[in-house]
Amino acid sequence: MAQNKTVPTKSNVAGFVASIPDATRRADAETLLDLMKDVTGLEPTMWGPAIIGFGSYHYRYESGREGDMLLIGFSPRKAASVLYNATQGSDAQALLTSLGKYTTGKGCLYIKKLADVDRNVLKAMLVKSLAAVRKRYPA
């Protein structure tokens, strides 16, 4: 069975964030770091070369495939910050109408600039999403 490509690494989170060339994207990453630390109570870990994750859970599909994945996280990509597991659960989905400018796709939330979204709504979404993931995959 294929191994998961997205795995925790020993790479330095602060060094990765400091290396982001775009000042706005770097500032947004620093804000997301603080926000996700606050929501999870966990320290960040690099997952692969460009994803910052908080915590992990073990999943197993009916097909037999299993692995570990980050509870919640983000990647400061060139076009947008990609948030993982940020829209889990019906409560988080309902908050999207109040979030601001964003797009979604395949379970991810894409935000071009944090200035375009309501940070209080984003925080509420992260809290609800984290609870939904923890409920679905209890430790």
Burial class of residue 121 (count of CB atoms within 10 Å of its CB; 0-12, 13-18, 19+): middle
Structure tokens at 37: 């630390």
Burial class of residue 112 (count of CB atoms within 10 Å of its CB; 0-12, 13-18, 19+): middle
At residue 67, the pLDDT reads: 86
Burial class of residue 41 (count of CB atoms within 10 Å of its CB; 0-12, 13-18, 19+): exposed
Average pLDDT, rounded, for the chain: 93
CA–CA gap between residue 43 and residue 23 (Å, rounded): 23
Indicate the fold that domain 13-136 takes in CATH. Aspartate Aminotransferase, domain 1 (3.90.1150)
At residue 60, the pLDDT reads: 84
Least-confidence region, from 36-45, 51-60, 88-97, 104-113: 88-97
pLDDT tens digits, one per residue of 41-68: 999 999 999 999 999 999 888 888 888 9
Residue 2 clears pLDDT 80, i.e. is over it: no
Q: What is the pTM of this model?
A: 0.92
Is the Cα torsion angle 62, 56, 123, 32 positive or negative in sign?
negative
pLDDT band at 95 (very low <50, low <70, confident <90, very high): very high
